[in-house]
Amino acid sequence: MTATHTPTTTTTATGDSAAARMTTRRKVLWGLQIFLAAFLFFASALPKFAGQAGAVETFDQIGWGQWFRYLTGTVEAAGAIALVIPRLAGIAGIALIGLMAGAALTQILVLEPAWALLPAAFAVVFAAVARDRRAESRRVLGSLRGALRR
């Protein structure tokens, strides 16, 4: 009887431990998501929309025109909003990885190479969010596929 009872207890304890780790990981990720969403929206997108001198100058240095400043700000704002919507957070994470890759390359090739570490670090967090939210992302994408077939 002890042999039968012990594996069940061990499995339950292991299951509880795994659930606790997942809950802790999700809480940490939520904290990072909220922080990065606020940063992207308030410290990055809004200055681009407002035409802050530093943003205008940076996009002049990039050389693609000011339309690219507005496009970048729009992607940042949309990503920031989607990052705090649980169903969209994983998809936002994937999209923001692309944005951060572009930002890191721009820093390395055009602006200041040392600053490429910041978007690279953000991309790591976005990858963790995308991985953690992959089930929700699959459901959203499945719903879109179903809607497109109709």
Q: For the whole model, what pTM was predicted?
A: 0.82
Q: What is the pLDDT of residue 13?
A: 57
Q: What is the model's pLDDT at position 5?
A: 44
Cα–Cα distance measured from residue 25 to residue 32, given in angstroms and rounded to the nearest whole number: 11
Answer yes or no: are the C-beta atoms of 48 and 73 closer than 8 Å. Answer: yes
What's residue 37's pLDDT?
98
pLDDT value of residue 15: 65
- Collect the ranges in the chain with pLDDT lower than 50: 1-11
Q: What is the pLDDT of residue 4?
A: 47
